[in-house]
């Protein structure tokens, strides 16, 4: 088994069964971390990610939780500690969309997106910070979005949640910096994931036309940014939002 910059560390990645979460879980394992694969429900996809992690010589557990349930979201931290012996890195990646124009958006669609995309990240951060503060070490990474930076028509709920993650990131960074805990975020743009592959060709073409680099990004490109921000090389970076968007938010 090769060594890496994250040897001996334990990471919790939510939404890790596919897309950016899967790519991040595998990248962290390749860098040496053991990984708790967070998912909304146990599934062959989540198990396959865990199997890929163990094939790299790292430990993995699959943790299913409804992130709309505050208690279930918070419990992920203790389950990670129980299953892997600690927690050093948290990547809050899980999220959902319920798109629609604001004048037609239901209370349920607003509340569900805020609960999963923002509130769950807060309760996971709060739970993880307790052991991190005792240990005087930790890395938290919140996955925001370009929508949270520049807004997006039809996504008032999603954009508000992702903008909230940026505020949460910056506030927590200031609170825990003296304890050797960093809190950063990435803001992906249009990324090739299961969510974007269902878009009609016309919508994909229109999206790509807005990107200065004239292409969609990949989950691996986002995962590379995440891995850097939780690595020893980024120990003096906190409260930062790394845009991985091909220039869209420039």
* Distance from C-alpha of 178 to C-alpha of 163, rounded to nearest angstrom: 25
Number of residues that make up the chain: 250
Pairing of strands 60-64, 89-92: unpaired
Task: Specify whether 137 is catalytic.
Answer: no
Q: Residue 137 region, left (φ>0) first, then alpha (ψ -120 to 50), else beta?
A: beta
* Distance from C-alpha of 60 to C-alpha of 74, rounded to nearest angstrom: 19
Question: Hey, which bits of 79-179 come out as E strands?
Answer: 89-92, 138-143
Q: Which residue is associated with the tokens 């037609």? A: 104
User: Are 157 and 200 spatial neighbours (Cβ–Cβ below 8 Å)?
Assistant: no
Dmax (CA) of the chain: 55
Active-site residue, from 158, 168, 193, 230: 158
Residues with a catalytic annotation lie at: 158
């Amino acid at each position: 088994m090769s060594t890496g910059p994250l040897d001996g560390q334990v990471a919790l990645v939510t939404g890790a069964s596919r897309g950016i979460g899967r790519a991040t879980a595998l990248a962290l394992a390749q860098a040496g971390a053991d990984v708790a694969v967070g998912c909304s429900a146990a599934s062959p996809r989540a198990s396959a990610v865990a199997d890929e992690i163990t094939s790299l010589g790292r430990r993995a557990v699959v943790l299913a939780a409804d992130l709309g349930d505050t208690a279930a979201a918070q419990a992920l931290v203790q389950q990670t500690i129980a299953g892997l012996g600690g927690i050093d890195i948290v990547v809050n990646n899980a999220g959902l969309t319920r798109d629609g124009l604001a004048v037609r958006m239901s209370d349920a669609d607003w509340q569900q997106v805020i609960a999963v995309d923002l509130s769950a990240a807060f309760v996971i951060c709060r739970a993880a910070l307790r052991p991190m503060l005792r240990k005087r070490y930790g890395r938290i990474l919140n996955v925001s979005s370009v929508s949270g930076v520049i807004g997006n028509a039809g996504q008032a709920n999603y954009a508000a949640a992702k903008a909230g993650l940026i505020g949460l990131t910056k506030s927590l960074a200031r609170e825990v910096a003296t304890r050797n805990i960093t809190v950063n975020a990435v803001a992906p743009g249009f990324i090739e994931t299961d969510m974007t592959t269902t878009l009609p060709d016309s919508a994909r073409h229109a999206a790509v036309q807005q990107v200065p680099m004239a292409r969609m990004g990949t989950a691996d490109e986002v995962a590379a940014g995440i891995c850097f921000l939780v690595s020893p090389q980024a120990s003096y970076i906190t409260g930062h939002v790394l845009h991985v968007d091909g220039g869209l938010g420039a």
